[in-house]
Structure 1
Amino acid sequence: MDQLSAMRVFVRVVETGNFTRAAAALDMPKTTVTNMVQGLEQHLRTTLLNRTTRRVMVTTDGALYYERAQQILSEIDELDGSMSNSQAQPSGRLRVEMAGAFADLLVLPNLCDFHNRFPQIRLDIGVGDRLVDYIAENVDCALRAGTPTDQSLIARKVGELAMNAYAAPNYIQKFGEPQHPRDLEQDHFSVGYLNATSGRVMSAEFQNSQEKIEISPRYLVSVNDARSYVNAAIAGLGVVQSPRFMVRDAVARGELVEVLRDWHCESLALYIVYPQTRHLSNKVRVFVDWLARLVHNLRVSDQH
């Protein structure tokens, strides 16, 4: 029995909750996964998992073994990474989650450059601003807007995007142009953006040379997707705070105009997040570095 391989399989079964998902994550036949865990139990002369028809439950011995095995595997991965040739080309599958607007307007238009640099990495991009089970879904990392609050995740900031307030000409024709952010709580409407974690409409912050205020805007509609957020503004449903790159084309076509020009919106911070239990592999590291350069170049272009 290859004990190290069996340990990796056992850890993945515990993290995913059953043999089927573990087999899919490891790209192994389910029978192989089952046999490796059984072989490990025979080697250790103890039961690590209690099986049911739907999922597996970790025994007391299994929980202790999982804790130590996870630490050992993490240390081995870190050692392998530190001893590997720094010039070696990273390779393999990289699963990344991100909102649709970031995929469509930021990452995909520039992805040929990434593949020219790292031709041996295959990117699987999951599109959507949702809660992710990183272990069960075998997700390596996610691109997220705003400061992460989940303490179980490690977050690396990759940059900031300039933000402004925008509205459609037909909205301004109907309601007039807001003169102060407080107008969005009284005589005007915003498009609401639903926070994926809380399910609540997010507040909006504005500042000028004298003050910084946070408002809870009135809204006719709220959405949980950045593309729908901008499209709702184009339809005349309210004012939005948006990164400039997301509305550049709509502004050029005259579908949106900047409003509240005497007020600044707080920049939108972008982070790559990944679970603490997952070793930061070379393929994730080069993707994070590439994305940071991409956001930096975008920010520079927005300033001109």
Structure 2
Amino acid sequence: MDQLGAIRAFVRVVEAGSFAKAADTMGAPRSTVSKLVQDLETSLSLKLLERTTRSVTVTPEGVGYYERAIRLIADFDDMNSEATGGRLATRGKLRVDVGGTFANAILIPRLPEFYALYPEIELHLGVTERHADIVEEGIDCVIRAGDLPSASLVAKKLCSVEIVTCATPSYLEKHGMPASPSDLERDHFFVQYFFARSLKPAPVRLMKDDKKIEIFSPSKLSTSDATAHLHGILAGLGIGQTFEFLARPHIARGALVPIMNDWAPPRYPVHIARPAGRFPSVKYQVFEDWVAGVFSAYDNANDPS
């Protein structure tokens, strides 16, 4: 049995969702693809797929095998590409996990530029606020805001994103303009952001000179999504801290008002990270370099935090 060919066939079936579609993408008869997967299951003494006349479902064992299989295929293809002088190195699939805000506001609008340079790289974007286990799930890299505590990741800092504290004019008219952190704690509501994985709320962070404080104030709305969080602020539900690049157009049209300007929130570091134990492929390296250029526009060399 051509085990690597069988593994490739299995991966194609999982990604296509059927043997017929997988066969079309491989340019092979359906019976050949089916036989390859059956032989693979027999050699493993493991059922990877549940088949019915209408659908193909991946078994729990098949999910785990698929995650490892795509890493094996990627490493094998990269090895061959580099051995042939890199002629094939900048093609193939790259799996990237990124939060919805960065995906929709920064990354996706610039992708035509990336594809103009590397038309044969296929990006699979997992757009989620969930912090995936990229080693176990076979993800090539993640783009994340905040600290990266895991020692299993090799990270490169892309930028430090500016945060702005703001509210709507109608909210400030009703509740007053806060002049100090104590005003925030005593007289105001916040639109709260919480972390999807831990469910812990993100405190309101303020900084003036060398003094840093954190505030946990009453909230009428808590959300784990940055876009929903922004819309909560725009709805007048309270004061919020959000990315400056998201708030900027709303501030320009007068829908939001920056407050507490002498107490600036610390900036948020943004990193791109890959598994520590995996040699970076050429297609990953060119993507990392391109992403670094895109995010550099949001950086500040005089970051005070």
TM-score by length of 2: 0.74
1:172/1:283 CA distance change after superposition, 3 Å: same
Query: For the aligned residues, what is the CA RMSD?
Result: 4.2
Contact 1:99 1:225 in 2 (8 A): no
Report the AA paired with residue 289 of structure 2: D
Quick one: which of 11, 22, 32 aligns to 1:28? 22
Deviates more, 1:267-276 or 1:19-28: 19-28
Report the AA paired with residue 45 of structure 2: T
Distance across 2 between alignment mates of 1:31 and 1:279: 36
Map 1:1-304 to 2 at 5 A.
1-6=1-6, 21=14, 24=17, 28=22, 35-36=35-36, 38-40=38-40, 47=45, 56=59, 76=76, 79-80=79-80, 82-86=82-86, 90-132=90-132, 140-149=140-149, 154-274=154-274, 280-299=280-299
Deviates more, 1:140-149 or 1:242-251: 140-149
Distance across 1 between alignment mates of 2:112 and 2:72: 37
Count of residues paired in the alignment: 290
Contact 1:91 1:283 in 2 (8 A): yes
1:128/1:302 CA distance change after superposition, 3 Å: farther
1:50/1:230 CA distance change after superposition, 3 Å: closer
Contact 1:89 1:118 in 2 (8 A): no
1:269/1:71 CA distance change after superposition, 3 Å: closer
Distance across 2 between alignment mates of 1:70 and 1:116: 25
Secondary structure of 2:36's partner? Answer: helix
Distance across 2 between alignment mates of 1:9 and 1:87: 24
Contact 2:81 2:89 in 1 (8 A): no
Gaps of 5+ in 2: 24-29, 52-56
1:177-221 per-position Cα deviation (integer Å, ceiling 9, x unaligned): 222334333321111112121123222322212411222232111
Contact 1:25 1:137 in 2 (8 A): no
1:144-192 per-position Cα deviation (integer Å, ceiling 9, x unaligned): 2212345665544322212221121111111112223343333211111
Shift of 1:92: 3.2
Contact 2:159 2:300 in 1 (8 A): no
Shift of 1:31: 6.8
Contact 1:161 1:295 in 2 (8 A): no
Report the AA paired with residue 298 of structure 1: Y
Gaps of 5+ in 1: 13-18
Contact 2:190 2:240 in 1 (8 A): yes
1:60-113 per-position Cα deviation (integer Å, ceiling 9, x unaligned): xxx9x99x9999878745643543535767223444343332233212332222
Deviates more, 1:165-174 or 1:140-149: 140-149
Distance across 1 between alignment mates of 2:176 and 2:33: 64
TM-score by length of 1: 0.74
How many percent of aligned residue pairs carry the same amino acid? 33
